[in-house]
Structure 1
Amino acid sequence: MSLIFNWLFDQYKGVATHWIVLEVIGVIFGLLSVFFAKKRNIWVYPTGIVSTVIFVYLLWEFRLFGDMMINGYYTVMSVYGWVLWAQNSQDQVHVEVSVMNSKDWVISLGLALFSLILVTTVYFFKPYINNSFSMEGVSLGFEFFSLLDGVDIITTAIFLVGNVADGTTKD
């Protein structure tokens, strides 16, 4: 039991309590959003927005720019969805699940490449961003990438493509 406890909570050693509290609040609102989505309740949107806004802030503070950008995207899409749902109060929309065709694959590949290039560019400028957007004493380059940066770049591309593919309907 101690091994599991340590595995779960060692990552929080040295992290200020207010960061942990914000993360817990973000997770709770995220879980509420999933619950409301399952119930097809409009509260999916405000709870999701609270969660993603908290995570945008946290991810900015911890310099995980790819995840921050995808949460920003989720926030914008939640506002958009909330507006659409509020305008169409009756749920008359039914979306069929379908297999991706070759056009969908090409679009997804293009979106993944765009995302990889965009987020890699952001990480290229990470020393500049970390230096309060000042070039004074800053060197740019890929040699400053960490393993975590690479994982963030790849997962951002995957989640962006998945989210867009999930929201795409076929005619």
Structure 2
Amino acid sequence: MENIIHHYLTLPLLEVIAVIASLLYVVLAAKKNIWCWPAAFISTVIYTFLFYKFYLWMDSFLQVYYMGMAFYGWYCWNKPTEDFHSNSIQLKTYTATTHLISIVILTIISLSVGWFMDKYTPTDFPYLDSATTVFSVFSTYLVAQKVIENWLYWIVIDAVSIYLYVEKGLTPTAFLFGVFILIAAYGYYIWRQEYKDDDMTHSEVLN
């Protein structure tokens, strides 16, 4: 723990900004604060170069995708709604069947991309790197669409990412993703509770 704290205290300025922006993104997203998206954009610009340098090329590509999703997320969260709760972000939930089908499709895509990366690039951990990237692409879309279960995907993705970063010697980043798991669990709890509260409010209005 002391080594991790020391490392964070001696990080280059750009990495410090990336770490802070990443934390802000997850915390603000859990609180449904639209300013999570500018924070996401800042962190992704920096991490794009960092992951490319460490031969986690799919992760680097993922950061480029995140840049675009930062704009898309801002648009979705800022879009007016006709619902009576017009000043709040409306949450959604997908059925278990929808998630199961999504996971099967994403797994097939991950294996295909992993095979390509393993055969044609020098990237490390091609299959795991590809899987975290493919599932993160989907999970980020779920965040932008305000789907509650996005947080459950992130818990698994972050856990796998911790292993990757530890193996690459990116211990501080691995520690950061450990914090992300805790925040994701908090985000799921908060979004789930608010979704239930909104359901009750809707029922009361209809009655």
| Range into which the TM-score falls when normalised by the shorter chain | 0.5 to 0.7
Runs of 4+ displaced beyond 6 Å = none
Q: Does 1:110 align with 2:105?
A: yes
Cα RMSD (Å): 3.4
The equivalent of 2:176 in structure 1 is none
Gaps of 5+ in 2: 148-207
Deviation at 1:164, TM superposition (A): 4.5
Structure 2: distance between partners of 1:151 and 1:125: 16
- Name structure 1 gaps, 5 residues minimum: 128-144
Is the counterpart of residue 94 in structure 1 residue 90 in structure 2? yes
Aligned mates of 1:161, 1:37 — CA distance in 2: 16
1:41 counterpart (11, 33, 47): 33
The percent of aligned pairs where both chains have the same amino acid is 28
Change (3 A) 1:54 1:159: same
Does residue 79 in structure 1 map to residue 76 in structure 2? Answer: no
Distance in 2 (CA, whole Å) between partners of 1:72 and 1:96 is 26
Question: How far has the Cα of 1:153 moved from its partner?
Answer: 2.7
The residue identity in structure 2 corresponding to 1:73 is: Y
Residue identity matched to 1:114: I
**1:63 Cα shift?**
1.8
Is structure 2 residue 103 aligned with structure 1 residue 126? no
User: Match of 1:159?
Assistant: 136
Task: Specify the code of the residue in structure 1 equivalent to 2:90.
Answer: H
Q: How many angstroms does 1:52 deviate by? A: 1.3
- What is the SS of the residue equivalent to 1:95? coil
- Cα 1:154–1:35 shift into 2, 3 Å: closer
What is the CA-CA distance between 1:46 and the residue it aligns to? Answer: 0.8
Deviations, residues 110-134 of structure 1 (Å, cap 9, x unaligned) = 122113312442343224xxxxxxx
> Which of the numbers 19, 43, 58 marks the counterpart of 1:27?
19
1:87 CA displacement = 4.0
**Residues in 1 aligned to 2:76 and 2:139: alpha-carbon distance in whole angstroms:** 21
The one-letter code of the counterpart of 2:102 is I
* Structure of higher RCO (CA pairs closer than 8 Å, 6+ residues apart): 2
Q: How far apart, in 2, do the equivalents of 1:111 and 1:75 lie?
A: 21
Change (3 A) 1:83 1:100: same
* SS of alignment partner, residue 40 of structure 1: coil
